[in-house]
A and B are shown apart, each in its own frame.
Chain A
Amino acid sequence: MARAVMAVTLACLFSIYPLLGRQTIIDIHGSADEVLAQSRGKVLVLVFVRTDCPISNRYAPLLQEMNKMYGPQVSFRLVFPDRTESTDKIRHYMQEYRYELSAIRDLNHALVKRTMAKATPEAAVFDAKGQLVYHGRIDNLYEHIGQVRRAATTHELAEAIEAASKGLNPPVSTTEAVGCFISDLE
């Protein structure tokens, strides 16, 4: 019964914009469950970004690379938590940074709340059963805002994806993300 209602909601709450390449931008207004339901059976990776955050921008090449590396068995999604960023703006931004990922506009911060995301960039990993198994930084490139390593020395997101793909728990389940505060958007 409940599942049937959800299927209906899904149809009316999501509008899908056709895009060049493999970009799709989806708006989510309601609960986070629809996004999770779509990827049921696969590992789902959400990465929160905003177009004007230099720290998340700097990760664009790495995120692309990870998406390619893990292939179709992992659903990789960018999540834009800034309600004021229009679909056009996001599309333009993604072309500029050569993203070939699907994106979600998290208009009511349903995904922000579900993943406890605090900053951009911040990643959340759900396992094939839809359990949140990791949320936090992508890696430790940034120690604090303005304190950047030459290269990251720990890679928490990659480790979490690899563990989740094998049905294991990641070695670390939570880390603090360094970046631009999502709470500024509330």
Chain B
Amino acid sequence: MLSEWGHVGFLLVLAIIFPLGGVVTSWLFSRLRLRPDRPNPVKEDTYECGIPTEGPAWVQFNFRYYIFALLFVIFDVEAVFLFPWATSLERVAVAGFIEVLTFVLVLLIGLIYAWRKRALEWL
């Protein structure tokens, strides 16, 4: 039992050594003047993707996004439930089909409601 967990413990040790080792070696090398230390603004950027960062992270964004996010999550989860159902359709047969139909119908009510209440329009 314990020896099986030994593998996990080994990985844990590795997971600690790798990042820590890199940082410590880099710091050590710079202290020993084994590597040059020439910082510049581009090098110190938060993201090294090539596109210059712009403005602070605290910006206002349209809160209407949250309704879209909400609808997205709902139908995303619907898809998550539909896939396992589809793969086992032969086994769950008619009863399963009706159950999933009910499930989709309930979500459909929500979608119709959102549509009629103009949650889908971008004003």
A binds B: no
Report A's interface with B, CB cutoff 8 A.
none
Q: Which residues of B contact A (CB under 8 A)?
A: none
